[in-house]
Amino acid sequence: MKCKKCGRKAVVNLKAYGISLCEKCYPEFYKNLVKRSIKRFRILNQHERVLVAVSGGKDSSAMAAVLKELGYDIELLYIDLGIGDYSKVSEKVVKDLSKNLGVKLNVVRLRDYGFTVDDVARRMRRKTCSACGTAKRYIMNRFARENSFEVVATGHTAEDVVSFYIKNVAGGTKVWAEKLMPRNDPFDEKIVARAKPLFEMSEKENMLYVLIETIPYTPMECPHAPEPEWKEIVYEIERRKPGFVKNFVRGLVRPAEEFEEIRYCKICGEVASGEICAFCRLKEKLTG
Ligand code: AMP
Ligand code: ZN
């Protein structure tokens, strides 16, 4: 397998794009994809102060590294949720990440508010994940506002967005649009904008980037996290239909201006995508 760009030995094969790349060309390719996505969907702008929420996992580590590479004005935020060894290992990793990138790390401890996620797990087990989500969102927003950041960036991936959507549609629950959107601007002055700069990137692409660029991350998973059933379904569809995840997530958030304006057929007057509608074109071919 050879690199499509330079002909050297390829180390990655991206089925979604049908190309192979070497370890020099892959990081460039990845950086460009993120750059294009941020621009196209207006996810961040170069003048704003961005608070990058890092968990120690591969996705948010990749996000911090690529945003720094792209010249954004960033600082990191790690929330110590008080989840046993998992929180301790993650904190060490984000400290390494901060040193490695030369970017300031801020740490906020949930314990300082009087409880931890382990307390939640002991007292109300079934609610652990949603309580943890509530705590993270609250702390991210409050810290960002009190420290004059204009936007909080999280490392949500294309698989996160797609599996969230499918899970909710399949379960018959309302899908909150803001959970899908690459950027949400505030509806109140106490709320800070939220961005997902990696919403078009897949977990595999993020993993390759951190491995090739030797960016600190931990493969450790939260001990309270449930079985990722919907994620696994999404992985399986992607395995059988390479490119599915990217196409799906793009379809979900396609910018409005990309929809064609409404036009009417010159011949019959019905709605058409061009000058003449598909039916009249077909009829012309067969009868004309
Ligand atoms: P999760 O909700 O665990 O899927 O994580 C989604 C995103 O939230 C991650 O990519 C991070 O950007 C952010 N995040 C998760 N856990 C933490 C944490 N302990 N501290 C700061 N940010 C976090
Ligand atoms: Zn190459």
What is the atom index within ligand 1 of the atom nearest the CA of 80? 19
Residue 155 Cα, ligand 1 centroid: separation in angstroms?
Answer: 7
Q: Residue 284: pLDDT above 80?
A: yes
Residue 285 Cα, ligand 1 centroid: separation in angstroms?
Answer: 56
What is the atom index within ligand 1 of the atom nearest the CA of 153? 12
Tokens, residue 248: 């799906």
Question: SS3 string of the chain?
Answer: CECCCCCCECCEEECCCCEEECCCHHHHHHHHHHHHHHHHCCCCCCCCEEEEECCCCHHHHHHHHHHHHCCCEEEEEEEECCCHHHHHHHHHHHHHHHHHHCCCEEEEEHHHHCCCHHHHHHHCHHHHHHHHHHHHHHHHHHHHHHCCCCEEECCCCHHHHHHHHHHHHHCCCCCCHHHCCCEECCCCCCCCEEECCCCCCCHHHHHHHHHHCCCCCCCCCCCCCCCCHHHHHHHHHHHHCCCHHHHHHHHHCCCHHHCCCCEECCCCCCEECCCCCHHHHHHHHHHC
pLDDT digits (tens, 9 = 90+) for 49-65: 999 999 999 999 999 99
Residue 29 Cα, ligand 2 centroid: separation in angstroms?
Answer: 10
pLDDT at 148: 98
Per-state percent for the chain, helix, strand, coil, to nearest 5 = 50, 15, 40
Residue 16 Cα, ligand 2 centroid: separation in angstroms?
Answer: 18
Q: Residue 256: pLDDT above 60?
A: no
- Ligand 1: residues whose CB is within 6 Å? 53-55, 59-60, 77-79, 81, 136, 154-156
Mean pLDDT calculated for residue range 255-276: 83
Mean pLDDT calculated for residue range 6-12: 96
What is the atom index within ligand 1 of the atom nearest the CA of 160? 4
Q: Residue 44: pLDDT above 60?
A: yes
Residue, of 127 and 73, whose pLDDT is higher: 73
What is the atom index within ligand 1 of the atom nearest the CA of 222? 3
pLDDT at 126: 81
Mean pLDDT calculated for residue range 115-136: 93
Task: State the residue for tokens 């580590």.
Answer: 61
Q: How far apart are CA 100 and CA 78, in angstroms?
A: 16
Q: Residue 260: pLDDT above 70?
A: no
Task: Report the alpha-carbon angle 182-185-187, nearest 5.
Answer: 140
Q: What is the number of the ligand closest to the CA of 28?
A: 2
Q: Which domains occur in the chain, in start order?
A: 23-261 (3.40.50.620)
Q: Do residues 62 and 210 make contact, with C-beta atoms less than 8 angstroms apart?
A: yes
Closest C-alpha residue for ligand 1 atom 10 = 155
Task: Report the alpha-carbon angle 13-19-23, nearest 5.
Answer: 55
- Say what percent of the chain tops pLDDT 90: 89
Q: How far apart are CA 70 and CA 92, in angstroms?
A: 25
- Helix 25-40 to helix 203-212 angle (10° resolution) is 130
pLDDT at 254: 76
Q: Residue 129: pLDDT above 80?
A: yes
Q: Phi and psi (nearest 5°) for 178?
A: -65, -20
Task: Report the alpha-carbon angle 30-159-107, nearest 5.
Answer: 75
Residue, of 14 and 179, whose pLDDT is higher: 14
Task: State the residue for tokens 């010159």.
Answer: 266
Residue 162 Cα, ligand 1 centroid: separation in angstroms?
Answer: 17
Q: How far apart are CA 161 and CA 54, in angstroms?
A: 18
